[in-house]
């Protein structure tokens, strides 16, 4: 026999848990007793929140500090994504999240770069707090339960699962993206969405490392390039990101790489040879750098160029070679710079010919980092693509095609930057979906719906 719930949520990750909490909060505001309204949360894993538990390297960068508009600008470079997320980011803010966690004993604090973490730096504490909230909210949590087929007929949704059949009046899809499949996100939601007639933008990697065709030389593995500009360039097209780049045994990773990976993957799809470069002096134009080199050569003619490079600042501020604040060009990189610029290892500034100086400058502004082989989809902290945003109402997260169906979290076609933006998006869209599904089922808006018990 099928188990009947008023509201069924498929997926017990960040967005699904908040959808359940948002729904109960709304119902309690409307004075609807918990036993008069069943909320069922289905999760295929034995426990909710597998991805949350590994987030931020186990420390869980839950959100980012600042006002919601600022978060959207910093965290989402795509205008359409920002427009879509705006309403939920303002409806359930980073402060709402932090006060909710605080009420369950998890204090949070922002780091100087704006990333917000639990003070304990334990993702497990965040997860425990959410589990306690779900219990207090009287959510019927059914785990080890994988939804396999979904349909809607005569105002009712039916979900077939590994633990039997469920029926409900409203359904929230919160099954996440497609990366880190071992956490349970194998893309089931995309098939469900298509079945309901939704358009799905093909998943693609985001916040992922890059594998290069030739593995980096052993001497460079582990080398970190601070605050450089990483760019991919094919004919006249160029995409770039400023930040740290780390050289690995397979290619590249680090904040600039992860952030640019979505565009690198697109480039690699469109062009056979997408070449990666870093600019070691991003604050200087080539002309400024040439002038600085000339000045330096005049004063330090007998200095070997390689000695200069070994103590030269990386990414110095415009107009100088001052070492602030990122240290020097890594020593391991210097022989490679000399080789790429075709300079003799012991050449001195006074011996450099004009074309050699030009060649050195070109290499520093365009140091080759290899050709892209792949950007592994499964290794991304998130995946781009998913349900087309235009088919979901951004104010309610309700499908524009199927009344009573709500979609939230990474299953939607957005992907944020590193910094707590993706979890905030999952929390905010989840809360919005839960709240609106509950309001719909409770028979429309209630005058008290603005105030909140949980917040
Ligand atoms: C290694 C790593 C580190 C990260 N660190 C951060 C960070 O520090 N800060 C940040 O903001 N973001 C981080 N992210 C991204 C963030 O974790 C996700 O964007 C966020 O968890 C997405 O939430 P979601 O609810 O949409 O999906 P998920 O959290 O993935 O939840 C989806 C749930 O649905 C379940 N499910 C799937 N299919 C079915 C089915 N058929 N039936 C039943 N259940 C199903 C899954 O098991 C899963 O539990 C990180 C991601 C990774 C992989």
User: Domain residue spans in the chain?
Assistant: 3-203+382-441, 210-276+372-377, 286-371
Nearest to 85 by CA among 25, 20, 15: 15
Local confidence pLDDT in tens for the 455 residues of the chain: 788 889 999 999 999 999 999 999 999 999 999 999 999 999 999 999 999 999 999 999 999 999 999 999 999 999 999 999 999 999 999 999 999 999 999 999 999 999 999 999 999 999 999 999 999 999 999 999 999 999 998 889 999 999 999 999 999 999 999 999 999 999 999 999 999 999 999 999 999 999 999 999 999 999 999 999 999 988 788 899 999 999 999 999 999 999 999 999 998 888 888 899 999 999 999 999 999 999 999 999 999 999 999 999 899 888 888 777 788 999 999 999 999 999 999 999 999 999 999 999 999 999 999 999 999 999 999 999 999 999 999 999 999 999 999 999 999 999 999 999 999 999 999 999 999 999 999 985 444 444 454 54
CA-nearest residue for atom 38, ligand 1, is: 175
Interval between CA 176 and ligand 1 midpoint (Å): 5
Interval between CA 51 and ligand 1 midpoint (Å): 4
Question: Does the CB atom of residue 56 touch ligand 1 within 6 A?
Answer: yes
Neighbours of 156 (CB within 10 A): 15
CA-nearest residue for atom 20, ligand 1, is: 423
Closest ligand 1 atom number to CA of residue 380: 53
Closest ligand 1 atom number to CA of residue 59: 8
- Half-sphere exposure of 394 toward its Cβ, with a 13 Å CA cutoff? 17
Nearest to 337 by CA among 217, 209, 211, 256: 217
Closest ligand 1 atom number to CA of residue 16: 25
Question: Does the CB atom of residue 423 touch ligand 1 within 6 A?
Answer: yes
Instruction: State the residue for tokens 């000399």.
Output: 338
pLDDT at residue 235 in the model: 77
Interval between CA 441 and ligand 1 midpoint (Å): 27
Question: Does the CB atom of residue 410 touch ligand 1 within 6 A?
Answer: yes
Interval between CA 383 and ligand 1 midpoint (Å): 10
pLDDT at residue 388 in the model: 98
Closest ligand 1 atom number to CA of residue 146: 42
Question: Does the CB atom of residue 54 touch ligand 1 within 6 A?
Answer: yes
Tokens at 198, concatenated: 């939704």
Question: Does the CB atom of residue 42 touch ligand 1 within 6 A?
Answer: yes
pLDDT at residue 355 in the model: 94
pLDDT at residue 319 in the model: 82
Q: What angle do CA 452, 398, 419 make, to 5 degrees?
A: 70
Instruction: State the residue for tokens 């169906």.
Output: 405
Facing residues of 159 across strands? 150, 166
Instruction: State the residue for tokens 């199927």.
Output: 402
Instruction: State the residue for tokens 């870093």.
Output: 278
DSSP percent split of the chain into helix, strand, coil, nearest 5:
40, 25, 35
Q: Determine if the peptide bond prior to 244 is cis (ω within 30°).
A: no
Question: Does the CB atom of residue 150 touch ligand 1 within 6 A?
Answer: no
Facing residues of 205 across strands? 383
Interval between CA 409 and ligand 1 midpoint (Å): 8
Question: Does the CB atom of residue 428 touch ligand 1 within 6 A?
Answer: no
Ligand 1 pocket check: which of 47, 176, 430 to mutate, most ligand atoms within 8 Å of Cβ? 176
CA dihedral 181, 184, 188, 190 (to 10 degrees): -60
Nearest to 89 by CA among 70, 109, 110: 70
Phi, psi (5° rounding) for residue 273?
Answer: -125, 95
Judged on CB neighbours under 10 Å (0-12, 13-18, 19+), 213 is exposed
Ligand 1 pocket check: which of 175, 193, 195, 411 to mutate, most ligand atoms within 8 Å of Cβ? 175
Ligand 1 pocket check: which of 49, 51, 255 to mutate, most ligand atoms within 8 Å of Cβ? 51
Nearest to 265 by CA among 381, 375, 386: 375
pLDDT at residue 449 in the model: 45
In this structure, is the dihedral angle defined by the CA atoms of residues 82, 83, 88 and 92, taken in order, positive or negative?
A: positive
pLDDT at residue 143 in the model: 97
Question: Does the CB atom of residue 184 touch ligand 1 within 6 A?
Answer: yes
Was domain 3-203+382-441 assigned CATH 3.20.20.70? no
pLDDT at residue 318 in the model: 85
Calpha distance 96→281 (Å, rounded):
41
pLDDT at residue 453 in the model: 46
CB 13 within 8 A of CB 409: yes
Calpha distance 184→410 (Å, rounded):
13
pLDDT at residue 67 in the model: 98
CA-nearest residue for atom 13, ligand 1, is: 55
Calpha distance 91→84 (Å, rounded):
13
Architecture of domain 286-371: Orthogonal Bundle (1.10)
Interval between CA 401 and ligand 1 midpoint (Å): 25
Nearest to 247 by CA among 259, 239, 256, 237: 256
pLDDT at residue 73 in the model: 98
Question: Does the CB atom of residue 55 touch ligand 1 within 6 A?
Answer: yes
Question: Taking the chain, what is the end-to-end CA distance rounded to the nearest angstrom?
Answer: 37
């Amino acid at each position: 026999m099928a188990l009947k719930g008023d509201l069924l949520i498929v997926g017990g990750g960040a967005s699904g848990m908040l959808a359940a909490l948002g729904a109960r909060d709304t119902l309690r505001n409307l004075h609807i007793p918990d036993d008069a309204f069943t909320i069922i949360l289905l999760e295929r894993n034995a426990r909710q929140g597998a991805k949350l538990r590994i987030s931020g390297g186990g420390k869980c960068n839950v959100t980012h500090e600042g006002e919601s508009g600022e978060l959207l600008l910093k965290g989402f470079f795509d205008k359409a994504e920002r427009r879509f997320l705006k309403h939920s980011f303002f409806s359930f803010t980073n402060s709402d999240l932090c006060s909710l966690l605080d009420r369950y004993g998890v204090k949070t604090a922002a780091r100087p770069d704006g990333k917000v973490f639990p003070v304990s730096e334990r993702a497990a504490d965040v997860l425990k707090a959410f589990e306690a909230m779900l219990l207090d909210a009287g959510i019927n949590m059914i785990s080890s339960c994988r939804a396999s087929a979904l349909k809607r007929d005569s105002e009712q949704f039916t979900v077939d699962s590994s633990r039997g059949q469920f029926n409900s009046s409203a359904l929230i899809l919160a099954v996440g993206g497609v990366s880190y499949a071992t956490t349970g996100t194998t893309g089931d939601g995309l098939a469900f969405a298509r079945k309901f007639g939704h358009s799905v933008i093909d998943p693609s990697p985001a916040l992922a490392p890059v594998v290069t065709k030739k593995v980096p030389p052993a001497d460079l593995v582990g080398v970190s390039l601070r605050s450089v500009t990483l760019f991919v360039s094919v004919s006249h097209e160029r995409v770039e990101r400023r930040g740290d780049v780390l050289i690995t045994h397979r290619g590249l990773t680090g904040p600039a790489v992860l952030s640019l990976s979505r565009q690198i993957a697109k480039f690699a799809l469109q062009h056979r040879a997408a070449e990666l470069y870093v600019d070691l002096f991003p604050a200087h134009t080539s002309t400024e750098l040439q002038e600085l080199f000339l000045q330096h050569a005049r004063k330090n003619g007998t200095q070997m160029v390689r000695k200069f490079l070994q103590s030269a600042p990386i990414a110095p501020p415009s107009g100088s070679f001052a070492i602030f604040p990122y240290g020097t060009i890594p020593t391991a990189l210097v022989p490679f710079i000399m080789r790429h610029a075709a300079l003799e290892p012991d050449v001195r500034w006074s011996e450099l010919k004009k074309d050699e100086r030009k060649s050195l400058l070109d290499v520093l502004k365009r140091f080759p980092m290899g050709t892209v082989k792949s950007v592994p989809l499964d290794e991304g902290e998130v995946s781009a693509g998913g349900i087309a945003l235009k088919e979901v109402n951004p104010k309610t997260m309700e499908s524009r095609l199927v009344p009573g169906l709500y979609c939230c979290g990474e299953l939607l076609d957005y992907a944020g930057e590193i910094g707590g933006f993706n979890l905030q998006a999952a929390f905010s869209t989840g809360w919005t979906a839960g709240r609106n599904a509950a309001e719909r089922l409770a028979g429309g808006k209630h005058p008290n719906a603005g105030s909140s018990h949980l917040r």
